[in-house]
Structure 1
Amino acid sequence: MADSKSQKLRQTALPYPYRENGLSLKLEGCQVEGEQPVEFDEERESSTVDLAVDESDPWERATLRGEVTLPEEVVESVFPPDERSSPPGKLYVAVRCPDAIYRDRVDVDTSGTEGCVDPGVHDVEVSLRSDRLREEVRLIPFLVRSSEGESDGTFATTPNVRLASGEPWTVVVDEEEENGNSLIDGEEAEFSEHDHLPGEKRLYHLDFRNADSPKLWINSDHSRIVDILHANGSVGAEARMRDVVLDQIQQGVWSQLVMRAISDVDEEGEPRHDWEQAVLNIFARDLTDEDDVARASIQLREELDDPEGVAVLMERLDGSIQDYIDPRDQLINLVEEGLQL
């Protein structure tokens, strides 16, 4: 009953039907490179796979095998009637590792007409490399449109817009360290009391005084906002507001990190600092047509040096960061929370 209510609210908040939890991802087995495949228990209820690295016997590559199920009722609810016989959609599994700022996607083999997806069960394989990941990886199934459609004001018509998603699976890559290893450090302070921080009206400040280890400062002069940032849980008005505020901060912080990283790239495509390489690993290829991070980084540095190319680069960067942090979902959650008040 709760799921039905949630689904109704999601369709109300979006200008088109969207089926949250409309897809089902089921992992059936795993193979670590050089070892025998392991089949998962069909009766297992857990959606967590433990591949924690053993320091005495680390793995480099692992392949997870599973299925993504697209129900007929989901197709009927997100595509207009004249498209349902050959739905213009595609399935993929998003691979997200926040602690390693790694983001990728794996297309699901639908083995049907190109650009179309049929309802039913579809096989998928997800390959992971331990050197690119840290702590936990989330695997999330999505259905998106594959081509533009005719608008009747009801259904989504824009290519690549998401139409449905499913519950994620979690893959534990290694044990969480007590102190963690985040990309940048964060700390709260009253900006009004410190000369090295900007004025008290600022919400946050990204500090590059130590270029090898940037630091994010949050202004505790704004006590109510800081209280929201400390909200616990994943549901409720304060948790939803927390996620939206964090997304707003992330948008500005990522912009600075990416631009700083690009500006430090040398002739070989190598930046000066480790954190810059991590940033380029996730964004450089998405911002260019290059598959190699070093070549992509060189191209971005050339664009940054071209006054006419900077504006175009900034436009692409804004879109890439929006895709990465996906602020739409958090805003929708906040809207849905408001509709229940």
Structure 2
Amino acid sequence: MIKFVLAINPGSTSTKVALYEDEILLHEKSLNHETNELEKYETIASQYDFRYSAVLDFLDEVDFDVTNLSAVVGRGGLLPPVKSGAYEVNEAMVDRLMNRPVVEHASNLGGIIAFKIASSIDKKAYIYDSVAVDELDDIARISGMASIERKSFSHCLNMRAVAHEVSEQLNKPYEESNFVVAHLGGGISVSAHKNGKMIDIVSDDEGPFSPERSGRVPCKDLVKACFEKGADKSDMMKKLRGKGGLISYLGTNDARQVEKMIREGDEKAGLVYEAMAYQISKGIGEMAVVLDGQIDGIILTGGMAYSDMLMKWIQKKVSFLSRVFILPGENEMASLAKGTLRVLNGQEKAREYKLG
């Protein structure tokens, strides 16, 4: 029996939607949201109606009857630590993502929007390979401050998908492979994969700065800035996530615009952009050490992996460690759909979320 799956992936500046007939992609679109439009909303949760309506408009645009859907899957958001694979979205998960997310992140809306659409047609909604997948080794949890434990938040879905893809290229099972994977998008994270598990990560708040996130900044100066006269928690958080990185230095989160500035002779843009590549390379080096240098491949993925300029800078720094694989873009939509199809076909069982 044919199965139709709608995949929804909210990102920092877009909501990606894709409609699948089994594993065949029927329609896909990135619903881009202007920064000035998103700035109207105080929180990610308050963007819910805006993004939900955009998804319904997409279904109208492609003239698809929503009642024909077999299931809806959303990008997993910032939940307490969960396992890899599928979870069925329930009221407890929706409540957590909407009202008490671990971190404010656009992906929190994926499961909520999926649940709303699926519930309206009496079907099930899922998340798959959530941002909150936690497979860290115990030693990786130690932060250096006893009251703070390192947590696993990363672009798990795309990272695991490309690791599986490269494993197939190498004719070696993912469960027997070691990879360093760098996801380069609006946020940047780097992960160490050992024998099928992500045993450590450099998350987007403790590593390279990105188009709109500040990444790891000097702790003492950050604390000082938080206590300066007039300092506001909300404003400080936006400087870390949303108005950091390239936006902070150059006023844009569009890497293509930055490259245009560089070609036109903007030396500051050149320095900042190369500094981002420099920091990404340092993050890859950190994860190479985690794997004791036993690496089957370094994988560069995400939207910025399309940038030849950025890729050349990074390859120059890290190619001595291992072979570099560049898989531009994101495999997230297909990964969401395929994971859901495995559940629908009985090949995989969805977990029940109980951590509300």
TM-score grouping bracket, smaller chain normalisation? under 0.3
> Whose helix fraction is larger, Structure 1's or Structure 2's?
2
Structure with bigger gyration radius: 1
Given the two structures, how large is their TM-score scaled by the length of structure 2?
Answer: 0.25
Higher share in strand? 1
**TM-score under structure 1 normalisation?**
0.25
Larger relative contact order, structure 1 or 2 (CA cutoff 8 Å, min sep 6): 2
